């Protein structure tokens, strides 16, 4: 009886969020999977399977004889036929990867500093890290357009410096450089916070012990702090890499014509080309490749543990 009521209360508590995920995540994903096998409609959307005439009578258009006029594998074929899509995937992975790496390098010392500060400074620093969230994402990206624009003090000063050493002036905006700056800027807090949460829990006695046993500063970091912070690094990597991979607003605003990412292509398919099925294919491939990467990372982590 008690068992039953505890099971019931568990379902009551986890029910609403589960239902939410089912309706707004699982169902749309499934719809997208089905859409990937359909044919685009004449004016966007999907070629309808049903038709309702003026009298309100609904007719099923698809049948056993003509199903391949409605269902096709060609969308996937198109993805693999042209290497341009694979190249775009690789480029997006490169952008997301380099962004993640830069975020780790920048966030680690900052997270360490926050974790080692006293309570008051710590709260202030955490507040500063999350402060950018208080203003709109697009406004912050537009701010970067101004900072990197050719008229900005930053660009002018940089080009002056370059002129002194005899290098041609550069245009910062609408370049790969600008996209990576934007990606790093937007995602940095998502690396700092999990790292800080991890580093804050570290037992300082371990560093004393390592030093006592003969480890210098570098060895203390590399043998003790770094391996113990890996869960934080992985959490931050997931929070930065995955959103960065699908980002389209930043390449749209800061990137040039040659720095678009998969996100831009997907957006194009749905909004501009009105090719929902192919947009769905791209989305599915993106999801699959992220899952594949997570699986590889998980497998690598496990086998490393077993070897130890």
3-state DSSP call for residue 135?
coil
Closer CB to other proteins, 77 or 227, in the complex: 227
Exposed, middle or buried, 52 (CB in 10 Å: 0-12/13-18/19+)? exposed
List interacting residues with other proteins (CB under 8 A).
Answer: 203, 205-206, 208-216, 219, 223-224, 227-228, 308
Closer CB to other proteins, 231 or 246, in the complex: 231
Closer CB to other proteins, 177 or 234, in the complex: 234
- Given a contact cutoff of 8 angstroms between Cβ atoms, the answer to whether 88 and 79 are in contact is no
Cβ at position 228, least distance to other proteins in Å: 6
For 186, other C-beta atoms within 10 Å of its C-beta total 22
Residue in 281, 266, 263, 267 with CA at minimum distance from that of residue 36? 281
Cβ at position 227, least distance to other proteins in Å: 5
Supply angle C-alpha 53, 56, 59, rounded to 5. 55
Cβ at position 91, least distance to other proteins in Å: 36
Closer CB to other proteins, 212 or 272, in the complex: 212
Q: How far apart (Å, rounded) are the C-alpha atoms in residues 178 and 290?
A: 24
Closer CB to other proteins, 121 or 219, in the complex: 219
- Specify the residue for token string 């609408």: 174
Closer CB to other proteins, 230 or 288, in the complex: 230
Cβ at position 216, least distance to other proteins in Å: 6
Cβ at position 113, least distance to other proteins in Å: 22
Cβ at position 224, least distance to other proteins in Å: 6
Residue in 191, 192, 295, 203 with CA at minimum distance from that of residue 243? 191
Burial 145-174 (b: 16+ CB within 10 A, else e): eebbeeebeebeeebeeeeeeeeeeeebbb
């Amino acid at each position: 009886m008690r068992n039953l009521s505890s099971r019931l209360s568990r379902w009551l508590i986890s029910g609403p969020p589960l239902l939410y995920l089912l309706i707004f995540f699982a169902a749309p994903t499934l719809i997208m999977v089905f859409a990937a096998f359909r044919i685009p409609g004449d004016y966007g959307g999907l070629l309808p399977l049903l038709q309702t005439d003026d009298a309100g009578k609904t007719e099923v258009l698809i049948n056993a004889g003509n199903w391949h006029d409605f269902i096709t594998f060609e969308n996937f074929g198109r993805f693999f036929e042209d290497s341009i899509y694979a190249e775009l995937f690789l480029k997006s992975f490169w952008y997301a990867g380099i962004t993640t790496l830069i975020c780790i390098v920048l966030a680690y010392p900052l997270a360490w500093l926050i974790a080692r500060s006293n309570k008051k400074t710590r709260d202030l620093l955490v507040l500063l890290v999350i402060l950018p969230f208080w203003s709109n994402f697009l406004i912050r990206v537009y701010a970067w357009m101004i900072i990197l624009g050719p008229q900005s003090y930053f660009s002018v000063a940089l080009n002056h410096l370059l002129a002194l050493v005899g290098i041609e002036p550069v245009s910062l905006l609408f370049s790969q450089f600008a996209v990576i700056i934007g990606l790093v800027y937007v995602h940095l807090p998502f690396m700092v916070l999990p790292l800080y949460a991890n580093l804050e829990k570290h037992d300082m006695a371990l560093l004393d012990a390592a030093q006592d046993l003969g480890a210098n500063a570098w060895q203390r970091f590399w043998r003790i702090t770094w391996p113990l912070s890996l869960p934080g690094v992985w959490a931050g990597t997931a929070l930065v890499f995955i959103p960065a991979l699908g980002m389209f607003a930043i390449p749209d605003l800061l990137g040039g014509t040659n720095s678009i990412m998969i996100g831009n292509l997907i957006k194009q398919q749905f909004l501009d080309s009105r090719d929902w099925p192919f947009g769905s294919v791209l989305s599915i491939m993106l999801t699959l490749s992220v899952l594949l990467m997570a699986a590889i990372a998980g497998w690598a982590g496990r086998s490393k543990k077993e070897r130890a």
